[in-house]
Amino acid sequence: MLRRKILAALSVLALAAPAAVRAQNAGEINLYSARHYDTDRALYDAFTQETGIRVRLIEGQADQLIERIRNEGANSPADVFLTVDAARLARAAQAGILAPHGSAVIDERVPAGLRDPQGLWFAFSQRARLIMYDREKGRPEGLNRYEDLADPRFKGMLCTRSGAHPYNTSLGASVLMADGPQKTEEWARGVVANLARPPQGGDRDQFRAIPSGQCGIAIANSYYLGQYGRSDKPEDQALFKRIGVIFPNQGEGDRGTHVNISGGGLVKSAPNRANAIHFLEFMTTHKAQEAFALGNMEYPVVADTPLHPALAAMGKFRAEPVNAAGNLDKTPEALQIMQRAGWN
């Protein structure tokens, strides 16, 4: 119900834009996106109604879109590239398909730690990689860090999706950057030894298996659980209240909870450059940031953007600094380590 209200509100806000403003900015952009959310589509419609700039949406997997833009070369119709993974943003920059956006608006609204130093990309939303547990059984003692997931006291308790999924390889790369190869391999083997079942399904499947006793603890992204807290269904609300969350690595001097980002950048060969920059700036407006925070239960990047009460109820945390280039560099090694450990 709330999601429908948010979508409807975006439409109303868009239609309220003066016709003269929309006509003045008529044109189009070609958006290559690896995000696939209804709230995003509503946001694009709101942008079009507000500015008159039509959004042509081309969806796909991030790596495929990057390769497509490379193959299209100087004749690529792509204006903007969006994706849901920091390493993919770094890969797009490394592939040479992005150009500096040159927007003072973006630089003012988005913290420096969530922007590429050369202005090739920036984050517009975040999601945290959490450890989840059964509130009815209480928070597991001694479980405070990602590294603790390998502790033998949690043998047979852990549920997680495939180690090859970008959410987990990103986490693995974070551990690798912090702890080095040897300790990361020990950690990955400990994680596998503690699995309650072979890795399977998506993030929702991990914490949904907790109440039945299949799992004692799970690894999942924050926004998946938040979506249950936003739901009007009693059974979803019951699950949300049942699942407790741990923001790992919050101790003094520790690195903070691992976050991944959704972000975007201006394509170097953009045929509609001015419109593309206008769109990228729009993604940092309060209207767009509220859509991410209230509609898709992601953490916004612009200060003072309100959170959904369910997301706020999960608690505050200190995030690990985003290192997109480092994550990209370490992901292949992290994946090899995890697969050697049997985290398939």
Give the integer Cα–Cα distance in Å for 294 and 135: 25
Amino acid residing at 116: D
pLDDT (tens digit, 9 = 90+) per residue, 148-170?
999 999 999 999 999 999 999 99
In the predicted model, what is the mean pLDDT of the chain?
Answer: 93
Using CA atoms, how far residue 83 sits from 40, 121, 219, 262, 271, in Å, is 12, 10, 22, 6, 20
pLDDT (tens digit, 9 = 90+) per residue, 58-108?
999 999 999 999 999 999 999 999 999 999 999 999 999 999 999 999 999
**Is 183 buried (19+), middle (13-18) or exposed (0-12) by CB count in 10 A?**
middle
Paired sense of beta strands 299-300 and 122-134, if any? antiparallel
Query: Phi and psi for 316 in degrees, rounded to 5?
Result: -95, 160
Q: Which fold has domain 28-126+260-306?
A: D-Maltodextrin-Binding Protein; domain 2 (3.40.190)
Sign of the torsion formed by the C-alpha atoms of 321, 326, 330 and 332 = positive
Note the pLDDT of residue 26.
Answer: 61
Note the pLDDT of residue 338.
Answer: 98
Give the integer Cα–Cα distance in Å for 185 and 179: 10
pLDDT band at 10 (very low <50, low <70, confident <90, very high): low
8 Å CB contact between 186 and 128: no
8 Å CB contact between 29 and 275: yes
Residue set of the binding site: 36, 223-224
pLDDT (tens digit, 9 = 90+) per residue, 83-97?
999 999 999 999 999
pLDDT (tens digit, 9 = 90+) per residue, 225-257?
999 999 999 999 999 999 999 999 999 999 999
Q: Residues near 341 by Cβ (< 8 Å), separated by ≥ 6?
A: 163, 185, 188, 189, 191, 192
Q: What's this model's pTM, rounded to 2 decimal places?
A: 0.90
Domains 28-126+260-306 and 128-257+323-341 share a fold: yes
Residue set of the binding site for Fe cation: 36, 223-224
**Helix ranges restricted to H, the chain:** 2-15, 19-24, 38-51, 62-72, 86-94, 104-109, 166-179, 181-193, 203-208, 222-230, 234-242, 273-282, 286-290, 309-313, 324-340
Give the integer Cα–Cα distance in Å for 314 and 31: 33
pLDDT (tens digit, 9 = 90+) per residue, 11-47?
444 444 443 333 344 699 999 999 998 889 999 999 9
Give the integer Cα–Cα distance in Å for 280 and 84: 15
CATH of 128-257+323-341, picked from 3.90.79.10, 2.40.50.140, 3.20.20.100, 3.40.190.10, is 3.40.190.10
Give the integer Cα–Cα distance in Å for 18 and 288: 19
Spans of all domains in the chain: 28-126+260-306, 128-257+323-341
Give the integer Cα–Cα distance in Å for 87 and 121: 12
